[in-house]
Amino acid sequence: MNKLRELAKLGQSIWLDFIRRSFIDSGELKSLIDDGVRGVTSNPTIFEKAIAGSSDYDEQLAELAMPAKSGISTIDEMYEALVLEDIRRVSELLRSVWDSSAGADGYVSLEVSPELARDTGGTIAEARRLFNTLGKDNVMIKVPATKEGIPAIETLIADGINVNATLIFSLDHYAGVAKAYISGLEKLAESGGDLGRVASVASFFVSRVDTAVDKALEELGEEELKGKIAIANAKAAVLLAKKLYSGARWQKLTERGARAQRLLWASTGTKNPAYPDTLYLDTLIGPDTVNTVPPATLEAFLDHGTVASTLESELEKAVLQLERLASLGVDLVQVTEKLQVAGVEAFANSFRALHQAIEEKAKILKDGERRHA
């Protein structure tokens, strides 16, 4: 049995944090799905690297760049046509996983425009449009866990739309997302919706927390907690999840077919070369969770990662580590707020850069077509 299937036996699903047209065309993605990858995630940075950094999309883009043939005239429409083609194809590859898992896995995630991260109404409208345009049961729409994103998540869940709540760095972010999910399910139940048909994950970012906190610890001359706070933060989220998904309120929803929103570990590629390259996989293995990993990290884990139930061990120690960090004067809430702001801006920059690259490529391809006409 390979490691991905061993992880599944422990209750953790591995999703791939990567999309690229040639990766789909070559059959590599299907092979990974056959081997046990159970979902796929994307973000604006992934698509920027895929579309701007390769010729994979040039043939389709050349067609899109001719409005008379394609019926498309704007860069936004070109971007969406390119991206939705990939999302559709991946959803079809994952459909068998969705079917066999009764809708627990087999999802592909697509992010709403990061330009809408501070716009609740705009996020809701775009998420609805994207979900309805794709028309796939196994698509998740990614919505950031910003102050404005939280109410959007509640509304979308109430609509029966699958949501991947992203850019969660703190326990406060996570609590807001989980409460929005539960409230959304209650509204869906009130409207007579099928709670068993909606799924959601809460994407809790890991490695970037260590990157930021380690810097603060270095300035204090503190070594003991370096490389430990991101994992402690994630384990504290597990403790919070146990509280949130218990009691009479949640029991009432489960009786209507609701499933808990799973914690998804994101940003699990190790940033510090001094740390093991499988650190954020080996230490976060536990039931009812997802880990979405970039290809290099997945390859490393398959080669020398360790499969063992580690997530729910030493939970009290994790809490003590967070308390120790606070006693040193490092405000984790402040650190994680800055990380979320930076994360939104990074995705927005990628989104804008991708649109610019599409515009430049489309012009070159259109000029080339005219010369050959």
For the stretch 245-270, pLDDT in tens is 999 999 999 999 999 999 999 999 99
pLDDT over 60 at 136, yes or no:
yes
Return the amino acid letter for 9: K
Task: Please identify every residue annotated as catalytic.
Answer: 142
The beta-carbon contacts of 250-258 under 8 Å, at least 24 apart in sequence, are 250/182, 253/182, 253/185, 253/186, 253/189, 253/195, 256/189, 256/195, 256/196, 257/194, 257/195, 257/196, 258/185, 258/189, 258/195, 258/196
Measured between alpha carbons, how far is 300 from 309 in angstroms, rounded to an integer?
A: 18
Rg over CA atoms, the chain: 21
Confidence at residue 1, expressed as pLDDT on a 0 to 100 scale:
59
In a domain, 373, yes or no: no
For the stretch 276-300, pLDDT in tens is 999 999 999 999 999 999 999 999 9
For the stretch 158-192, pLDDT in tens is 999 999 999 999 999 999 999 999 999 999 999 99
Structural domain count, the chain: 1
For the stretch 59-99, pLDDT in tens is 999 999 888 777 887 999 999 999 999 999 999 999 999 99
> What CATH number does residue 274 fall under?
3.20.20.70
Question: Could you list the residue range(s) of the whole structural domain that residue 114 is in?
Answer: 3-366
For the stretch 189-208, pLDDT in tens is 999 999 999 999 999 999 99
Measured between alpha carbons, how far is 11 from 17 in angstroms, rounded to an integer?
A: 19
Measured between alpha carbons, how far is 359 from 338 in angstroms, rounded to an integer?
A: 32
The beta-carbon contacts of 79-84 under 8 Å, at least 24 apart in sequence, are 79/354, 79/355, 79/358, 82/51, 82/57, 82/358, 83/42, 83/47, 83/51, 83/110, 84/110, 84/130, 84/133, 84/134
> What percent of the chain is modeled with pLDDT above 90?
93
For the stretch 59-69, pLDDT in tens is 999 999 888 77
In a domain, 84, yes or no: yes
In a domain, 372, yes or no: no
Question: What is the average pLDDT score of the chain?
Answer: 95
* E strands in the chain: 12-17, 39-41, 107-111, 139-144, 163-168, 200-205, 262-266, 289-293
Confidence at residue 341, expressed as pLDDT on a 0 to 100 scale:
98
Strand 107-111 vs strand 39-41: parallel, antiparallel, or unpaired?
parallel
The two structure tokens encoding residue 173: 């972010």
Nearest to residue 17, comparing CAs of 226, 162, 203?
A: 203
Nearest to residue 280, comparing CAs of 340, 234, 217?
A: 234
Q: What is the DSSP string of 255-312?
A: TTT--PPEEEEE--S---TTS-TTHHHHT---TTEEEEE-HHHHHHHHHH------TT
- Helix, strand, or coil (residue 135): coil
Nearest to residue 348, comparing CAs of 50, 45, 103?
A: 45
Confidence at residue 70, expressed as pLDDT on a 0 to 100 scale:
79
> What percent of the chain is modeled with pLDDT above 70?
98
In a domain, 263, yes or no: yes
Number of other residues whose CB lies within 10 A of the CB of residue 216:
20
pLDDT over 80 at 370, yes or no:
no
In DSSP terms, which residues pair with 263 in a beta bridge?
202, 289
Measured between alpha carbons, how far is 341 from 28 in angstroms, rounded to an integer?
A: 34
Q: Are 79 and 44 in contact (CB under 8 A)?
A: no
Q: What's the average model confidence in pLDDT over 226-237?
A: 98
Return the C-alpha torsion angle 49, 130, 166, 78, nearest 10: 20
pLDDT over 90 at 373, yes or no:
no
In a domain, 49, yes or no: yes
In a domain, 231, yes or no: yes
In a domain, 73, yes or no: yes
Confidence at residue 68, expressed as pLDDT on a 0 to 100 scale:
75
In a domain, 72, yes or no: yes
Measured between alpha carbons, how far is 48 from 67 in angstroms, rounded to an integer?
A: 23
